[in-house]
Amino acid sequence: MSTPNNGATTSHDQNFKNLILDYPRQALQFFAPGEAADIDESAVITPIRQEQLKNRLGDRFHELDVPLKVEWPDGRRAALLFLLEEESDPARFSIHRLVSYCASLAELMNTSRVVPIVIFLRGSKRIPRELTLGGDRLTFLSFRYIACVLPEIPAEQYKDSANIVARITLPTMGYVRQQVIDVMAWALRGLDTLEPDGEKRLKYLGFIDTYSHLEDNERQLFAQRYPREEHAMTTYAQTYAQRALAEGMQQGMQQGMQQGMQQGMKQGMQKGRQEGRQEGEAAVLLRQLVRRFGPLGEATAERVRRASPDKLEQWADNILDARTLDEVFASR
């Protein structure tokens, strides 16, 4: 079995954005368990519109994160903002940028209740965990955030978790390579058990496959050890291939129609220009014939109007030395 690698066409940022937006409550419970402990079922979680952030904060923040607003309708607690950012390369992470964004978001939303969370797909000792700004005597800024370094979380700890985000992200957690087949099976079982929606199951089968990175020999072992889960992945691969084929055919048809329309317009314009030029040449020749030989009969005028460009050119040459109308139309 060979399944498509969605990571080739979809960024890690988008993968995790989709996951967080599809399962916001479970994402907060997994990525920030301490801060999310008081978020009960009465709380309403909504994403802050990226268009709003783009208009107010600028393009540099537009693709940075997934901000979630948690509100309690009864008003017993003030709204809480969770700012989740994914970093596939720790070297690109800037704590200064995160501080700037948190401050800008807090000002925009008129709150000081902001919880920054950074999800790292790779670990590094160089990841800064806090930022302190001050002088010799006083500290003027002390900033920390929740660093969720997925490879530092033992996958086996969450293999039976009822949190669907934890189960889906199992292949990104820490385990020895020999466990990858089992980890993938744990993730697939969790998805099958916890997600009743078929479309979402199909969507996150691809996520699990992408981050498992199974090699060919590992896929063979997986099929032998976990036939039921193998069937799910085979179904995913077939469905993905069918959809890709259908989308490709539809795109090809649309492009073909567009090209056909463009070609038709081009040919129509060319034909229009040609016909316009031909009509103009016929009108000029008719005026010359009337001035030289007097009024023409309708049959003669129609003959000129229907003549080809080559004929019109020939007759225009003939009129220069023709003594009669017949000589104009004579073949030479």
Element (H, E) at 163: none
Please, which pLDDT band fits residue 242 given cuts at 50, 70 and 90?
low
Q: How do the domains of the chain map onto residue ranges?
A: 1-152, 155-251, 272-332
Give the confidence band of 1 by pLDDT, cuts at 50, 70, 90: very low
Average pLDDT over residues 257-286: 66
The pair of structure tokens assigned to 202 is 């199909």
Average pLDDT in the 250-279 region? Answer: 63
pLDDT value at position 6?
A: 44
pLDDT tens for 322-332 read: 788 788 777 76
Cα radius of gyration rounded to whole Å, the chain? 36
What is the per-residue pLDDT for 327? 83
Burial class (CB in 10 A: 0-12, 13-18, 19+), 165: buried
pLDDT band, very low/low/confident/very high, at 275 (cuts 50, 70, 90): low
Looking at residues 255-282, what average pLDDT do you find? 64
Top-confidence residue, 219 or 63: 219
Predicted confidence at residue 58, as pLDDT, reads: 52
Q: Which whole number is the average pLDDT over 234-239?
A: 70
| Per-residue pLDDT band at 2 (split at 50, 70, 90) | very low
Q: Please give the pLDDT value at position 31.
A: 96
Contact 167, 18 (CB under 8 A): no
Sequence-separated (6 or more) residues with CB below 8 Å from residue 202: 236, 239, 240
State mean pLDDT over 40-56: 74
The whole-angstrom separation of Cα 124 and Cα 126 is 5
Which is more confident, 55 or 251?
251
Q: What is the mean pLDDT of residues 283-299?
A: 76
For helices 50-57 and 95-109, what crossing angle results, to 10°?
A: 100
pTM of the model: 0.68
> In 57-210, where do the E strands start and end?
66-71, 80-87, 114-120, 130-134, 139-144, 146-149
317, 309 contact by CB (below 8 A): no
- Assess whether pLDDT exceeds 50 at residue 124: yes
Residue range 251-270: average pLDDT?
63
Nearest alpha carbon to residue 234 among 212, 200, 202? 202
143 or 49: which leads in pLDDT: 143
Kindly report, residue by residue over 125-167, the tens digit of the pLDDT: 999 999 999 999 999 999 999 999 999 999 999 999 999 999 9
Higher pLDDT, 125 or 240: 125
Among 95-109, 111-125, 152-166, 240-254, the least confident range? 240-254
Per-residue pLDDT, 256: 64
